Structures are given as C-alpha cells and as structure tokens.
Amino acid sequence: MKAGEESMPFKPSLPGYRAVLILFSALAFSVCLLMADNVLLAQNGEPPPLILTSLKIKGAEAIPAKKVREELSIPLPSFWPWKKDPVFRAGDLEADIERLEAFYRREGFYHAEIRPEIHKDPEGKVKVILHVKEGPPVLVKNIQIEVTDPAVKPMLAKLKEKWPLTEGERFTEGEYEDFKRIYLNYLADNGYPRAKIDGKVYLDDKVNTADIQLTLRPGPLSYFGEVSLRGERQTPDYLIRRKLAFKKGDTFSLAKLYESQRRLYGLDLFRSVTLTPEEVPETQKEIPVTVEVVESKKRSLKVGLGYGDEDELRTRLGLRWRNFGGGGRLVDLEGKYSSLETRVVGAFLNPQLLRTYWDFSFNTGWITRDFPGFQDRAFFTQTRFERDLPWSLRMYVGHLLEFARPFDIPTDTLLLLGESSGESFLSSALQMGIRQDKTDNIVDPTRGWIFYANGDLASGYFGSELEYGRLLTEARKYQSLGKTGVVLAGRLKFGLIQPIQDTDEIPIFKRFFAGGANSVRGYRLDRLGPRNASGQPIGGEALLEGSVEARVPVYKEFRAVAFFDFGNVYFKARDIDLGQLRYAAGFGVRYTTPIGPIGVDIGFPLNRIDPEQDPAYRVHLTIGQAF
C-alpha cells in the first residue's frame, strides 16, 4: 500500500456471496428435513431403521464361506466404500438361516446348525456373525445301476470314470442330479433320446450314509428322419441342409443337433436358429427334425473404438450386406485405423459355389503399416476355395497377389538384408491351409483346442518377383478344472520362411517378429530376435514362441491371470537354438463383457537382452484373451 492511501475493507463480490448463502441455506434446509423426519418417526413409535454394516461367517470348513454367502438373500454391505449400507431386518435373517440349513442338507450335511450372533450399537448399526456347525457329512455307501436293456450295458461301462459321486465321498443332491444327467446325455448323443432314469436314495441319518439305486431304461434305438425347413427366407434350402451335421438315417444325436445349430449361426445369415425333434410314438425309430430360422437384417453397420498400449487409439468401421444377390452371399467393406496399421478392405463370400461343397471368397484391399523396424504400403488380392471336412476341420486352397513397398528402413538394415531403399516387391503365391476348432466358445474358450497350419509358395513360375516358401502353424489347448472355474490355457507357435530360386534374402516386411501384448509379454513390440547396429529389429526367417496361462475367477465378472511366455526369432532357420529363448512371466486382470474380456497384463522379462535399454516390466492393455 502506498503512503497516504486508506485501507479498504475486503468485500466479496455479489454473485459469489449469494452462491455461498444459497449453498449453506440448502444444506441447513436438508438437515432440518432429516431431523424433522426422525422426530416424526419417533412420535409415531417407529424408530429409524437398523443398518447392516458387517456380516461374517465362522465355522464353514467343508463349504467355503464365500459359497455360503452367495446363498443369502438379504442385501449385504458392499466392498465399495461409496455404496450405502443396506437396511437390516431380523425376520429376513431368520428366513435366510432356514435357507442355509436347507442348502447344507443339499450339500450332504443333515445335522448342520447355524446360530446368529447380532451386535447392535446405539446408533442403529448392526454387525452379524453366523456361527456354522457343519456336523458329520453323509457319505455314499453303495451305488447300484440297473440297465433294462443288456445290449446297452457294455457301452455304458466307460462312464464310470466320469461319475461325480463315488463310494466313500460326501453325498450332495447336485452331484446326484449330475450323475443321472451323465447317463441321459450320453444315451441321447448315441441314439437313445427317449431314455429314462429312475433313482432312489436311501439315507440313514443315524450313521450318515446314503445308498444310491438307479434304474436306466434306454428305450428304442432311434435315427434321424426327414428334415423340414420353416421360416421365410432368401437363403436357399441347399445351403441350410449342407450345414447340418447329420442326414436322414444317421444314428440320432443331440450333439449333432447342437453342432448343426453352431454351423448355421456361423453363416452370419440368421439371428435365430432352432432345431426341434418332432414328437413321435415310441415304436417309431425315425425321428423327424424341424429346422426353423429367422434371417438377420439385410445390412448392418459396425463401429468400433478402442485403445491399446501398442497401437494406441484404434477405430473400425464395417458394413455388411447379407444375401447379396441371393444364395447366402456376403459382401463386406471395412476400414480400420491405428498408429500401427491402417487398412481398407473389401470381401465377397459365395457359400456353396455352384451348389458344391466349396465356398468361394475374394478379398482385396490396401494396407499401410508403421512398425518399429520399418514402414510399408501394400495392395493385395486374395482368392480362396474353402470347405468343411470331418472332425470339425476346414481347409482352403487359393492364390495371393501382393504389391508391397517397404520404406523408412534404416541403412544398416538394408545392408544386412541386401535391399535397396524404396524397392517394390511383387508376390504371387499359391496358398493352402487347414484349421480345426474344437473350443466351446469362440470369444472366451474354456475347453477344447484350436489347431491351424498355413502354407504359401511364391515362385517365378506363378509370375512372382519375390520367391519364397512359408509355413506358419499354431496349436492352442484349453482345460477347465472341474467346478473351480479355473481355466488352464497353453499355446505353441512355429513359423518358417525360406527364400527360393532367384531370391537370396527375405525382405523385412515378410519376416517374422516377436514380442508384445500378443506374443512374449514383458518385451516391447517386435523387440525379440536379431537387431541392427542401432538396436532396431530386423526380423528373422524362423519363429518359435509359446505361452502357459492360468485364468482364475475372483469376483463376479473379474478374473485374475498368471502367465509364463517364451519365444524368440532367428535370423536363419539353421540358427534355431532353444537355449536362446527369451522368457517372461507376469499377471493380469480381466473383466468379462458381452464382446469378450478386457483388462490389463503386466509382464516381467526374465532374461533381458539389454538390461540398460529393455524396461524391467511392460504393461499391456488387452481386449479379448491373449490367445
């Protein structure tokens, strides 16, 4: 303040002053309403409701406390601190205790006792402890199975290995129902859809034993009869019939009905597919089947938006025409963009070409890629003839025509590979491949396996300037561990590409690379294998990599993942050395959504190539499983 000036008192601005007054007035008004409401309740003789802040279960040993909590119907306090604790009602807890006692009986504990301990503080907050005394379990003493048809008995002998209950184990009603279901499902899949099973359980609650007696009536051996098609559609009858996994006269099988439904959905022509065996007299051996389909919309638009740690922002726009010109034909136009790849692709599929068992597909498009070791632009056309084979196999033969021009390649990489800057490559290759998919779910498999092998042969005899032979094969296996929800997954991948005829070295855009979110986690994208003097990857002619992963349920839709990856890329096929494999281990979390799991993985390299340049860990954002 300058000399001679008078100090002026601070005055708040009018708008801010009014805002503060309004805020405090609203808060005071809310508090008054709450107090008035509590006073009114007290005057009416109705005290404020009790609030449940904690519920613990003690004494649960054979059955985990988590599973016991899932049987409760009363709302429980949330794990999340911002969620309001629920109201507690003693009557609801008593009803739940009766429910738990019935639950324990179903689990084989007929003498279980559940005692509640309730603590209430002056503020109306309630803590509940449920003390569980399980008591002795009921054990299976004897199992007897009677089959009324002696001819069927030998084929059922192998089912003993799948029994959910065996002598000496705890009896549960759920496993008893599973026991009967195993036999009924097996018979329904092997020609006896009208099988019936009668069961009796003799319980002795004094010595806690159970005797199981089953009587199995297979009924007559049945076969598939005539197939009738229903529903207004443009899709031709022959296309639907040839996707069926059975024909008239085959032994009846429910599994073949489900497989037929899966194949028809795989055409992406129908939004509803129903296969219904018709009701016929028991004396009739042939069972007709009605197939009813409802077609999907003629056109559909798909828009996708996502983000990954490697490709960053990615977008997708796709347009599909179904039954284009009739005959079940499909036309696709798709555009994709990310920091690693941009592509515009068109595809045409003609199923059952000329009413044969061969599908005809044609793909063409433009692609530009920006990878750590190079960039390139390419235009391609691909023609294939595909068909289904027995045992869920699918094969293809075809031709690939590709014009590619890699650029922004480091000079020392060009010298190592004998390439020239700005050089273009013309590839004309014959292609052949086979694939088998025996998984239970395309997006998130828990059982089964996938195997594929693809081969290319580019030769001057086909007009190719770049001449090579290429093989890429991969096997994946998924195994669920009983009722635990844990899934073990594993994969092994091998690739090989060799120059032939007048080609001396494979150019960089055709070489193999490894490392990254879908490869060996713990290493950066494409960082495994040979590098040039400046540390940039140059790829190799051979690839070997694999993974082992455990997927464990944690809470509702959340799952934890633990993994171990290995792999490497080799400059030449003769350089393959298992001692040079790179390893990574880590963990992650997944959240299951209708479009597949999303989550994050953290990978730690176990034998880094360059400890000074390679990071100690990598974080990968994921959409879908890693494999």
Q: Convert 491-527 into a string of H (helix), E (strand) and C (coil).
A: EEEEEEEEECCCCCCCCHHHCECCCCCCCCCCCCCCC
DSSP string, 247-294: -TTSBP-HHHHHHHHHHHHHTT-EEEEEEEEPP--TT--EEEEEEEEE
Q: 431 and 288, same structural domain?
A: no
Residue 395 and residue 399: Cα distance in Å, rounded?
14
pTM (global) more than 0.85 = no
Question: Is 327 part of any domain?
Answer: no
Q: How far apart are CA 182 and CA 57, in angstroms?
A: 34
- Other C-beta atoms closer than 10 Å to the C-beta of 497 total 21
Q: Report if residue 8 sits inside a domain.
A: no
The model's pLDDT over 367-383, given as tens digits with 9 standing for 90+, comes to: 999 999 999 999 999 99
Instruction: Calculate the alpha carbon distances from 620 to 108, 305, 487, 515 in Å.
Output: 45, 17, 21, 12
Pair (55, 31) in one structural domain: no
Model confidence over 558-610: pLDDT tens digits? 999 999 999 999 999 999 999 999 999 999 999 988 777 888 999 999 998 87
Concatenated DSSP letters of 20-57: HHHHHHHHHHHHHHHHHHHHHHHHTT-PPPEEEEEEEE
Averaged pLDDT score across all residues of the chain: 89
The last residue of one of the domains, among 217, 249, 281, is: 217
* Over residues 192-219, mean pLDDT: 93
Note whether 186 and 283 are same-domain residues.
no
Q: Which two tokens stand for residue 74?
A: 């009363």
Encode pLDDT of 32-57 as tens digits. 444 444 444 444 556 789 999 999 99
Q: Do 486 and 432 reside in the same domain of the chain?
A: yes
Q: Containing H/E element for 478?
A: strand 468-480
H-only helix segments in 115-253: 153-156, 173-188, 237-242
Last residue of a domain, one of 46, 63, 82: 46
Question: What pLDDT is stored for residue 23 in this prediction?
Answer: 47
SS3 596: strand
DSSP-based helix, strand, coil % in the chain, nearest 5? 20, 45, 35
* Domain extent for 27: 18-46
Residue 42 in any domain: the answer is yes
The dihedral sign for the CA sequence 497, 501, 504, 509: negative
- What would the pLDDT profile of 121-175 be if each residue is shown by its tens digit? 999 999 999 999 999 999 999 999 999 999 899 999 889 888 999 999 999 999 9
Q: What SS3 class is residue 237?
A: helix
User: For the chain, how many structural domains are there in total?
Assistant: 5
The closest of 333, 339, 265 to 299, measured between CA atoms, is 333
In this structure, are 122 and 60 located in the same domain? yes
The rounded Cα 45 to chain-centroid distance in angstroms is 55
CA-nearest of 100, 117, 134, 103 to 55 is: 117
Res. 7: pLDDT tops 60: no
Q: Is residue 244 part of a domain?
A: yes
Asked whether residue 335 is domain-assigned, the answer is no
Residues 508 and 379 reside in one and the same domain: yes
Strand ranges of the sheet holding 223-230, from the earlier edge strand across to the other edge: 223-230, 286-295, 270-277
What is the reported pLDDT for 10?
35
Residue for token pair 């509640």:
116
Residue 305 lies in a domain: no
Using alpha carbons, select from 204, 107, 210 the residue that is nearest to residue 167: 210
Which CATH number covers residue 468? 2.40.160.50
Here the CATH number for the domain that contains residue 270 is 3.10.20.310
- The reply to whether 512 and 425 lie within a common domain is yes
Q: Are residues 498 and 603 in the same domain?
A: yes
One domain for residues 200 and 101 = no
476 and 598 housed in the same domain? yes
Q: Is the confidence at residue 530, as pLDDT, over 90?
A: yes
Q: What pLDDT is recorded for position 308?
A: 80
| Token pair listed for 86 | 């629920």
pLDDT of residue 34: 44
Residue 485 pLDDT > 60, yes or no? yes
Percent of the chain with pLDDT over 70: 93
**Separation in Å, CA 362 to CA 7, 272, 398:** 85, 27, 10
Q: Is residue 330 part of a domain?
A: no
At 117 the pLDDT is 94
Task: Look at residue 1 and tell me if it is in a domain.
Answer: no
| The predicted structure's pLDDT at residue 27 | 52
The last residue of a domain, from among 217, 251, 280: 217
Same domain, 158 and 230: no
Q: 287-341 pLDDT, tens per residue?
A: 999 999 999 999 999 998 888 888 888 899 999 999 999 899 999 999 999 999 9
Same domain, 508 and 589: yes
